[in-house]
């Protein structure tokens, strides 16, 4: 389940709602014991146990995002079924004195109604509470009307909590489905836009070159035409490779890196690019990667003393790793001026986007620039 999904929001709301419901009952219990049973040790112990059980149930729910399987059942037994008898044994032998402990059964039934998956389990929990509270009120000599009103509130708490949880869960799943459809549609539009960009590029480069050669306007034997054909052949190989990956690479990442490669190839640098299948990343991160790759390739062109570079795009845990490698002259990273592109333009750009850049080089051994998102 994705963080921030509709289903998770529904769960967070139910944890909050049932938690506030329990808090309201605990406040009543604290006031009742403080005013009328301050001398009853068992009442204070029972109230302390109820608070501890509440912290356990809702603390687990808060940390995990939902109720655990065991804490609600322990709360049901301790707060819902045992607490009334403990309070009665401490001297609360009138309906008005034992009422606060009975009230906590309502929030216990609400928690069970949303935490337990099976309807039979919820029915069993509510039945246990009903039997316990009938017995407790009977011991305290409560009238039938008081018992009936309390049982109605007890059962209503479970029913309403169950209905609310069903509705919110359904709405959360519908929201998640709609979000997934929107993301898929956006990805499809991005892929279509990328294909159209490739079609235009093919028209302006490969097709134009072939047409010029076929019509005799360009001599295929000249060095300039051969160099152009080599660059365009490399572009075609990358395009075929991307299609073979069944669109597994994130469109934004592919477009950004490909734009960087082609922009530097137009200046005479030959680039061999390999594309893997990383996860989709945000647009700002893809843009930062593309700019960093452009700067890294420009550095190869300006400083490496070689006419070839290698770019590899792979996936990491929920992100992307792009490496730019050359076999040129290399350098000592410790002696490089901090104002140069490797440290400022590349490193700062990646950090601002939430990524990282690492440079590995040595004199005579070439250079490897690794770009990661996220860091």
Q: What is the pLDDT of residue 42?
A: 94
Q: Token digits for 303?
A: 């400083």
Q: What is the pLDDT along the chain (375 residues), one digit of tens a residue?
A: 444 688 888 999 999 999 999 999 999 999 999 999 989 999 999 999 999 999 999 999 998 889 988 999 999 999 999 999 999 998 888 998 999 999 999 999 999 999 998 999 999 999 999 999 999 999 999 999 999 999 999 999 999 999 999 999 999 889 888 888 887 888 778 777 777 876 776 776 777 778 888 888 878 888 887 877 877 777 776 666 655 554 445 557 877 888 888 878 877 788 888 887 666 788 888 888 988 998 899 889 888 899 899 999 988 767 899 999 999 999 888 776 655 556 667 888 889 889 999 999 999 999 999 999 987
CA 375/CA 369 separation, integer angstroms = 14
pTM of the model: 0.56
Q: Compute CA 165 distance to the chain's CA centroid, rounded to the nearest angstrom.
A: 22
CB 255 within 8 A of CB 286: yes
- Please list, in sequence order, all residues whose beta carbon lies within 8 angstroms of the beta carbon of residue 11, skipping any fewer than 6 positions away: 65, 66, 172
CA 91/CA 100 separation, integer angstroms = 14
CB 136 within 8 A of CB 89: no
Q: What is the pLDDT of residue 124?
A: 95
302-326: burial string, b at 16+ Cβ within 10 Å, e else: ebbebeebbbbbebeeebbbbbbbb
Q: What is the pLDDT of residue 337?
A: 62
Which tens digit of pLDDT belongs to each residue from 268-311?
788 888 887 666 788 888 888 988 998 899 889 888 899 899 99
- Domain spanning 249-375 has what CATH number? 3.30.565.10
Single out the residue of 291, 290, 254 nearest to residue 274, CA to CA.
254
CA dist 364 to 184, 272, 305, 327, 331, Å?
47, 21, 11, 8, 7
Q: What is the pLDDT of residue 341?
A: 57
Radius of gyration of the chain from its Cα atoms, rounded to whole angstroms: 34
Domain residues of the chain, as ranges?
Answer: 6-177, 249-375
* Residue position matching structure tokens 């093919």: 202
First and final CA of the chain: distance in angstroms?
Answer: 23
CA 287/CA 190 separation, integer angstroms = 14
């Amino acid at each position: 389940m994705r963080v921030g999904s509709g289903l998770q929001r529904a769960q967070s709301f139910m944890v909050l709602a049932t938690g506030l419901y329990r808090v309201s009952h605990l406040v009543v219990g604290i006031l009742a014991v403080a005013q009328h049973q301050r001398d009853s040790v068992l009442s204070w112990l029972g109230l302390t146990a109820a608070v501890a059980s509440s912290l356990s149930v809702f603390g687990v729910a808060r940390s995990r995002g939902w109720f655990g399987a065991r804490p609600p059942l322990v709360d049901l037994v301790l707060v819902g079924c045992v607490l009334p008898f403990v309070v009665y044994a401490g001297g609360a032998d009138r309906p008005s004195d034992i009422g606060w402990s009975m009230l906590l059964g309502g929030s216990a039934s609400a928690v069970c109604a949303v935490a337990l998956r099976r309807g039979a389990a919820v029915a069993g929990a509510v039945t246990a509470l009903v039997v316990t509270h009938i017995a407790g009120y009977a011991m305290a000599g409560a009238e039938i009307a008081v018992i009936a009103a309390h049982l109605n509130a007890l059962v209503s708490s479970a029913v309403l909590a169950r209905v609310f949880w069903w509705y919110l869960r359904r709405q959360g799943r519908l929201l998640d489905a709609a979000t997934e459809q929107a993301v898929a549609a956006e990805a499809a539009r991005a892929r279509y836009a990328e294909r159209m960009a490739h079609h235009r590029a093919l028209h302006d480069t490969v097709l134009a070159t072939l047409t010029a050669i076929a019509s005799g306007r360009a001599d295929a034997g000249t060095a300039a035409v051969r160099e152009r054909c080599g660059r365009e052949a490399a572009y075609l190989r990358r395009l075929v490779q991307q299609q073979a990956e069944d669109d597994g690479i994130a469109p934004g990442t592919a477009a950004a890196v490909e734009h960087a490669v082609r922009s530097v190839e137009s200046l005479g640098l030959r680039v061999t690019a390999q594309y893997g299948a990383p996860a989709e990343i945000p647009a700002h991160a893809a843009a930062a990667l593309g700019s960093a790759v452009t700067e890294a390739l420009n550095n190869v062109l300006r400083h490496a003393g070689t006419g070839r570079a290698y770019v590899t795009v792979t996936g990491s845990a929920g992100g992307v790793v792009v490496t730019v490698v050359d076999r040129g002259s290399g350098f000592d990273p410790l002696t490089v001026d901090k104002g140069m592109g490797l440290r400022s333009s590349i490193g700062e750009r990646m950090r601002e986007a939430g990524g990282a850049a690492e440079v590995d080089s040595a004199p005579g051994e070439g250079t490897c620039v690794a770009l990661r998102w996220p860091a």
